[in-house]
Every structure is written in structure tokens, then in C-alpha cells.
Amino acid sequence: MIEEKYRFAAEYMVTTTEIVHKTGLMVVAMRDRYAKLLMPLGPNTNHLGMMYAGSLYCLGEVSGAAIFVVAFDVTKYVPIVKEASIRYRAPALTDVTVEMSVTEERVASMERELQEKGKTDFVMDLELKDAAGTVVSLFRGTWQFRKMSPGFELKQNPR
Amino acid sequence: MIEEKYRFAAEYMVTTTEIVHKTGLMVVAMRDRYAKLLMPLGPNTNHLGMMYAGSLYCLGEVSGAAIFVVAFDVTKYVPIVKEASIRYRAPALTDVTVEMSVTEERVASMERELQEKGKTDFVMDLELKDAAGTVVSLFRGTWQFRKMSPGFELKQNPR
């Protein structure tokens, strides 16, 4: 379930970049400091009938935006991805989901760094799972959350 | 320029996975042991007007298939990606290209391992460049090339 206050951000996240929208990526759940995303097999099926490696990567990459949205003030800060890696463990033959959460303490500590330095790094390890709960991929991303520049505007409203 | 003998494989590579086709990924050049790919900015533009991080990843990931095609017998072997990492150095505000090549010696050595063990690992470091030649991302992938299983068939012919 997506909490009402996160509905706009959840929609924005999966529609604002055309190619992400075309993967069919969905936000399954969002509440304070927790999110769950789903990548459907459909348009992401490769020539072997399994989920394309790049789509699995995108599921991990967008998770940085998802955790940012449920933990930080989206009108003050902006997330960017610095680097990421993914390890493919098993073929994904179903839709794939990922869950993520962050503690209040960690958010508070990052908020302090944002106030002091204007930026903070965030490393997150994720398990991407198929419908049976098998971990198909391991993802590690490093994002930077930054104070938004004055006059900064997002490209467009979500569809 | 794409050498005539690689035209079919080049087309297959960018069309067989629906989501890759939708990125608009193009094969710019293919000859023995060399390939150049291009990811257009268009459908890959994010909310900040730059190329989406996941699309840059896909450009690197598909490079494993590209180098495989120009160096190995595609009727005997098949490539899979084991793991990959990407570091984002500068925003990509134009189309992005990547070039890759492999020496005859390295191919010969991998061919021997394929004969002996039925598989061989291939690590490749790539520089993803914008239209001005600036390196926007550094990609490292580890692929495994394997003997095709008996009876193995690809999903479909290219469109």
C-alpha cells in the first residue's frame, strides 16, 4: 500500500523518465522510511525468456529515489546516483521485487550532514527477488543526496 | 560501418529485447573484434534533462553481447552477464557512445578454454563518452561465454 502523502512522488518516480515508464516499473508500497518496488517480466523479457539484466539493474537504481522520497524532504533535497554494482545469481523468470528501509537514526544523522555540508552519501545493499522469494540479483548502490540549488526545477509534472 | 556479415546479429541484438529496442540503442560499427554502440539521449532523458543512469548501464551491458558477436561463433556459444559495475563521472547531456575491441590472441586463448571447459569468463572495462568525447561513465562487466546447450533455441528472429 502506498501512503496517501507519497502517491504523487510514487507516480512521478516511475513516469518522469520515458524509458523507466516503459519498463512498467511499479511502486507497490511506500510508507515512512520503507518502500517496495516491482519490475514486471513483460517488456523486460530477453531473448532467453528471462528478465533482461539491464532491467534488473534499473530496479535497483530507482530504489535510491524511492528510499529518498520516503525519508527526506523532496522539496529541499535531490538524489543522484554516484556508482552501483549488480551481481546476477539466478535467472529471473517472473516479476521481480525489491524492498528497502532505513532507520530513523540513520536519516537523522544524514539530515545533520545535509545541514552542515549540503550533501551526504548513502550506500544501500538490496536483494532483488523473484515471485518465489529467490534472490536473483544483489545490488549495491551509492547515492548522494544534495541540497537543491536555488531556482532548481524538475522537468515536468507526472503524467 | 557495420560489416555485412554482422548485419543480422547487430539488428538482433538491439531489437530482440523489447525494452532495449525502446531505448533506441544503435550499433554504429561492427567489424572483426571491434564494435561501437550509441545510446540516444531522446527516450533516455531523465527529470533533470540528462541521460538516465540505467540507460547508461544498459549501453555498457549490451557491449558484452556486441564484443561476443564480433569475436565468437554465435551458433556455438552464448554470452551471459555475471556482474557489472558503473561509476557516473559527469552528466550525459548528449547521445553517448562506447567503443570496444579484443585482440586475436585473447580470443584464441578464450576459444581454447571454451573447448576445454565449455565456458570462459570475460572482463571488459569501458569508457562511455558524450558527443564531445568526455567520459561520462566508467563501466566494468564480467561476462561468461558458454557452449550452447543441445537443442537451445533463441526466442525469435529479429523484427
pLDDT in tens, B21-72: 999 999 999 999 999 999 999 999 998 899 999 999 999 999 999 999 999 9
Between CA A38 and CA A36 the distance in angstroms is: 7
Between CA A13 and CA A47 the distance in angstroms is: 28
Query: Minimal Cα–Cα distance from B53 to chain A, Å?
Result: 7
Of A46, A61, A86, nearest to B17 by CB-CB distance is A46
Closest-CA residue of chain A to B79:
A48
Asked if the Cβ–Cβ distance from B49 to A20 is below 8 Å, we say: no
Inform me whether the pLDDT recorded for B153 exceeds 80: no
Of A80, A86, A154, nearest to B84 by CB-CB distance is A86
Whether ipTM > 0.95 holds is no
- Residues of chain B in Cβ contact (below 8 Å) with chain A: 12, 16-20, 22-23, 43-49, 52-55, 57-58, 61-62, 80-88, 154-156
**HEC states along A34-84?**
EEEEEECCHHHECCCCCECHHHHHHHHHHHHHHHHHCCCCCCCEEEEEEEE
Residue of A12, A13, A16, A19 to mutate for B, most B C-beta atoms under 10 A: A19
Asked if the Cβ–Cβ distance from A83 to B83 is below 8 Å, we say: no
Closest-CA residue of chain B to A155:
B47
Q: What pLDDT score was predicted for residue B159?
A: 38
Q: How many CB pairs under 8 A join A and B?
A: 105
> Angle A7-15/A53-69 helices, nearest 10 degrees?
150
Q: What pLDDT score was predicted for residue A148?
A: 87
Inform me whether the pLDDT recorded for B155 exceeds 60: no
Asked if the Cβ–Cβ distance from A22 to B44 is below 8 Å, we say: no
Q: What share of chain A is helix, strand, coil (3-state, %, to 5)?
A: 35, 35, 30
Classified as helix, coil or strand, B9 is helix
> Angle B7-15/B53-69 helices, nearest 10 degrees?
150
Q: What angle do CA B73, B76, B77 make, to 5 degrees?
A: 80
Of A17, A18, A49, nearest to B155 by CB-CB distance is A49
Inform me whether the pLDDT recorded for B158 exceeds 50: no
Q: What pLDDT score was predicted for residue B26?
A: 98
Closest-CA residue of chain A to B83:
A87
Q: What angle do CA B81, B84, B86 make, to 5 degrees?
A: 145
Which chain B residues touch A53 with a CB distance below 8 Å?
61, 81, 84
Ordered mean pLDDT values, 10 residues apiece, chain A (159 residues): 96 96 98 98 94 98 98 94 98 98 98 96 98 98 91 49
Q: What pLDDT score was predicted for residue A46?
A: 94
